[in-house]
Amino acid sequence: MNNWKVFGEEQLRFECDPILSDIDLDQEVVIVDGQRLTEAGAEVLSEEIMEAFYRHHGLRFAPRKISK
């Protein structure tokens, strides 16, 4: 698991509206930490981020069961 640092909500504010779109990570190439990010990898990454967020706010985190 990566060590995520969760900062205050001020860090999440953008100067403009971000553009969001759905992509298939198994079709598109996205590199994260020097490795290609896949759909399965994105699921694991999202769990790590949510766990760090919950821990930062003193909340109990119940991870989802992710099949690898």
Quote the pLDDT of residue 61. 86
Quote the pLDDT of residue 29. 92
Residue-by-residue DSSP string for 4-50: -----GGGG--SSPPP-----TTTS--EETTEE--HHHHHHHHHHHH
Quote the pLDDT of residue 36. 93
5: pLDDT strictly greater than 80: no
Does this model's pTM top 0.75?
no
Q: Tens digit of pLDDT for each residue in 21-63?
A: 888 888 999 898 899 999 888 888 888 888 888 888 898 888 7
Quote the pLDDT of residue 49. 87
Domain ranges of the chain: 9-56
CA–CA distance, 18 with 66 (Å, rounded to integer): 28
